Each structure stands twice: as structure tokens, then as C-alpha cells.
Amino acid sequence: MTKLVRIENADNANFKVVVEVWDKGHNGEPDTLAFSVTLDYPTAMTDSRVYLTSTRYVVVKELPA
């Protein structure tokens, strides 16, 4: 089943957030980065492209200031 997810940078600090969307590799191949979205400011939110499936996952990271 496909799940649409929204991720928000809800912190008032100057730290940015990056959301990476990865596709799982097949037959022993490595996972591949489909795309990433940077949330540059508080209240910034991902768009409708970020979704989960049985072969896709999301990694959320804080970027250094």
C-alpha cells in the first residue's frame, strides 16, 4: 500500500532539515536515492512527492547550521 507522508521543519532554530527518499535495490543491488527535499525554515513542509511503499523509504536528517 502507498502512504503519502508530510514532514515539517517544526523547529525555530537555524538548522535545516533534509528529507531523502530512497528506493530499495533489487537482486542485491544497492539502494538508490530517488530525490531529496531541503526544508530551509520553520514551517517548511515536504510536497506531495514523498510517499512510502514496500520498496521506498524516507530518511530525515538535520543539516549543520
Instruction: Give 7-37 pLDDT, tens digit per residue.
Output: 999 988 888 999 999 999 999 999 999 999 9
Percentages helix, strand, coil for the chain (3-state, rounded to 5) are 0, 45, 55
Distance CA 50, CA 16 (A): 18
Distance CA 39, CA 4 (A): 17
pLDDT of residue 15: 86
Residue 58 clears pLDDT 80, i.e. is over it: yes
Question: Which pTM does this prediction carry?
Answer: 0.88
